[in-house]
Amino acid sequence: MIKSTNSLFFSGLPFLLLFSLSAVFYSCKKNDSPVVPEEPLITWNVQPTNITNNLKCVFFVNSQTGFAAGNSFPNDTNKIIKTTNNGTSWFRIPLTVYDSASYNSVYFLDENTGYIAGTKGKINKTTNGGAAWLPLTTNTTEILYDIKFFDQQNAVACGNSGTIIRTSDGGINWDSASTNTNQALYLISLNQTGEAYVSGDLGTIINSSDFGNTWSFQQSGTNYTLKSIHFTNEFTGFSCGQNGTIIKTTNKGVTWSLISSPVNGEFASVFFINEQTGFLTGNQGLILKTINGGETFTRSNPVTQNYLRSIIFIDSQTGWAAGEFGTIINTINGGD
């Protein structure tokens, strides 16, 4: 029996349909280009320091000359390093006399005159860019965490057990100031008018308006340790610390308000370029940036997992952060 043309057509339809669909599917598979995720934008770069000491602080005098300091383990000669080329390379600065102290803070008035402060109440001074250091008599054996200068002569340093010491002669003589607290005090923010703010354990914030002679308490609104504090101008300041705590004042610390934080890890340092733009660093290479005074934050793609203990910017684009295992990272585009 001869099949009609129509019968042949319909009987072959399933096969043709299957073949066509297979061809289309194969064609799609062959030409399909999987979406490759874009590489995360790296805005911070690791700078080689060739040391493994934990760095507690970093300070730049200008775009080329900077210093970092830290603990004395495992190699006592590695605890102070210097760069003269924007951090492209760092070299060690051995102290001119044996000193087993670790150092938590470095501050330079210019390329030649600088100070480091640390354990055992140690403060050393250099007048030749770190080539030689002179130990200063501080009259304390408490750990000192920070040192800052109002001007060439007036400075304050803070440390354990509520310690504040001050000088009015460039560090030749140091006197203790009464703080009425036994809490550890970690960081100082000050200006040339004589105002200073210090943050510490259990939410402690104290301030002075007379170059560190007298101090009074401020209500921070938190009991978490505040590791860092930074004022962007006479009125506006930020402080940060444990459990993702960030607080802000716009009235010289008369009142502090809690800022919503996108993380609950520990912050170690805060630095604001101006009232709107600032950075916070912390554990596991954490860097947060805000461009609206702390209303919102963005998190930088990490270039290290090491704890970042200190951050500084010399202008709106150029900054450095330092931390554990000799880590120093740098940005030249504002951390964007």
Q: Nearest Cα to 245, choosing from 272, 219, 264, 220?
A: 264
Task: Quickly count: other Cβ atoms within 10 Å of residue 77's Cβ.
Answer: 13
pLDDT score of 121: 97
Q: Which residue has the higher pLDDT, 159 or 100?
A: 159
* pLDDT at 98 exceeding the cut of 80: no
Architecture label for domain 45-331: 7 Propeller (2.130)
Q: Which residues pair with 67 in a beta bridge?
A: 59, 82
pLDDT score of 332: 96
CB 269 within 8 A of CB 308: yes
Give how far Cα 263 sits from Cα of 20, 275, 277, 292, Å: 54, 22, 18, 18
- Interval 12-22 mean pLDDT: 41
DSSP character at residue 54: P
Token readout for 75 is 């190699």
* pLDDT at 25 exceeding the cut of 80: no
* pLDDT at 7 exceeding the cut of 80: no
Place 73 in a pLDDT band, splitting at 50, 70 and 90: confident
* pLDDT at 171 exceeding the cut of 90: yes
Mean pLDDT over each residue of the chain, to the nearest integer:
89
* pLDDT at 216 exceeding the cut of 70: yes
What is the rounded CA–CA span in Å between residue 202 and residue 220? 10
| CA distance between the termini of the chain | 80
For the chain, give every domain's residue range: 45-331
pLDDT in tens, 182-192: 999 999 999 99
- Interval 310-314 mean pLDDT: 98
| Beta pairing class for 267-272 and 257-258 | unpaired
- Interval 33-39 mean pLDDT: 40
Count of H helices and E strands in the chain? 1, 28
- For 203, the 3-state DSSP assignment is helix
Please give the model's pTM, rounded to 2 decimal places: 0.87
pLDDT score of 74: 86
